[in-house]
């Protein structure tokens, strides 16, 4: 077996290789790592921006649908809402509901109109006496009116001990449109 003598410690080759490796690491690899890290950060930021943009797009579509439904509701409401000038027709309709229900009207007292910016509140106090079924028919008839009527307060009390009648007091709130305001049309369209 032959043994080769390999000389170890040839510094003329090792030093330039070590210096080249250190120079490569210091001037190429490490600056490249910083640039790569910066590029990865930019890519991550842009991906987050795209994800947010997609969610904003979905929110925008949902908002547009909600706006469309609100406009549709407003158009339907404006078709049925009374004007302040035409409240007497509404009061006649409420009186007709009372007559058809069979109750005896004790009180029908429209209160002064409370004007707001674009709506007016019309409080009405009703008092009646009748059988429970008749009072129920009155309330159902009020609910079936084309105009939305809010019941603010309702009090039912039995009349006498032997009578099957009840006394009913109802405070209603009706909203009327202030269409005579000129800027209403501009702001609502």
What integer pLDDT is reported at residue 184 of this predicted model?
Answer: 47
- Shared domain check, 165 and 89: yes
Q: Is residue 19 part of a domain?
A: yes
pTM: 0.57
Structural domain range at position 4? 1-80
- Shared domain check, 99 and 75: no
- Shared domain check, 126 and 67: no
CB neighbours (10 Å) of residue 54?
10
- Shared domain check, 136 and 66: no
Q: H-type helices in 25-160, by residue range?
A: 30-80, 87-101, 132-143
Q: Is residue 189 part of a domain?
A: no
Q: Is residue 74 part of a domain?
A: yes
- Shared domain check, 94 and 9: no
What integer pLDDT is reported at residue 27 of this predicted model?
Answer: 79
**CA 85 from centroid of its chain's CA atoms:** 31
- Shared domain check, 128 and 68: no
Average pLDDT of the chain, as a whole number: 83
Give the span between the Cα atoms of 41 and 83, in whole angstroms.
Answer: 61
- Shared domain check, 54 and 17: yes
- Shared domain check, 144 and 88: yes
Phi–psi pair at 80, nearest 5 degrees: -105, -20
- Shared domain check, 129 and 57: no
Q: Is residue 93 part of a domain?
A: yes
**Nearest Cα to Cα of residue 79 among 148, 172, 182, 173:** 148
Phi–psi pair at 176, nearest 5 degrees: -120, 155
pLDDT tens per residue, range 154-172: 999 988 777 788 999 999 9
- Shared domain check, 63 and 20: yes
Overall domain count for the chain: 2
């Amino acid at each position: 077996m032959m043994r080769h003598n390999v000389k170890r410690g040839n510094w003329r080759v090792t030093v330039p290789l070590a210096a080249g490796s250190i120079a490569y690491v210091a001037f190429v690899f490490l600056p490249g790592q910083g640039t790569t890290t910066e590029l990865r950060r930019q890519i991550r930021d842009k991906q987050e921006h795209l994800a947010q943009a997609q969610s904003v797009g979905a929110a925008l579509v949902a908002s547009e649908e909600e706006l469309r439904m609100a406009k549709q509701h407003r158009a339907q409401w404006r078709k049925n809402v009374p004007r302040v000038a035409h409240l007497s027709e509404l009061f006649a309709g409420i009186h007709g509901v009372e007559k058809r229900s069979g109750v005896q009207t004790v009180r029908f007292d429209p209160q002064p109109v409370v004007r707001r910016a674009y709506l007016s509140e019309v409080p009405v106090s009703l008092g009646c006496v009748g059988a429970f079924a008749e009072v129920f028919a009155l309330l159902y008839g009020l609910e079936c009116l084309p105009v939305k009527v809010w019941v603010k307060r309702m009090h039912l009390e039995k009349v006498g001990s032997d009578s099957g009648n009840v006394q009913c007091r109802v405070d209603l709130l009706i909203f009327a449109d202030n269409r005579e305001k000129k800027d209403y049309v501009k702001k609502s369209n």
